[in-house]
Chains A and B, each alone.
Chain A
Amino acid sequence: EPEVTQTPSHQVTQMGQEVILRCVPISNHLYFYWYRQILGQKVEFLVSFYNNEISEKSEIFDDQFSVERPDGSNFTLKIRSTKLEDSAMYFCASIQGIGSPLHFGNGTRLTVT
């Protein structure tokens, strides 16, 4: 069964550094998402992306975040200047179309020191 793949599985970075989290959505999916989960808390929506532009974003997704689909397969989340509170599990997800189920990757655990 096709799946969403995320790399790396774990990333450690120093406060103030830029990080790029990478995702390869399922190949025939059209809508892409980033979510985050701070340890022990619920899964929070960050941003959705369709047709090469952001379609929806939450208040968490401020100017330090950006997303990009640089080619036909990758979908990236960039955090420009990481803060300690950015430490979380970041999940990428995709759907084939509106009304279809969301499929999640295994996540990237980001630790900011």
Chain B
Amino acid sequence: EAGVTQFPSHSVIEKGQTVTLRCDPISGHDNLYWYRRVMGKEIKFLLHFVKESKQDESGMPNNRFLAERTGGTYSTLKVQPAELEDSGVYFCASSRTANRASEKLFFGSGTQLSVL
């Protein structure tokens, strides 16, 4: 079974540019999550999809971040325009059922985003 895959693994962009991150969850996993880790800090929740619907987007920093999951399969996270503080590692995770408190998450390897 293929794991969670993320693309690209690294992205270096200039402030003001746009970047789109992609995540392919494990097949059959309805739940998809985005997390972010800024260097030296905790891994912070961004948002949660159940199939194609946004279940919880309380962690999205601001309206420069847009996440989509068309058709309930892969997801994209677009940052436009990127700012310096957006630098970090963006992780995607998936799980089969919606009860987050008791469900273990399967993570991708992350996208290292550097905004210069």
Q: Do A and B come from one complex?
A: no
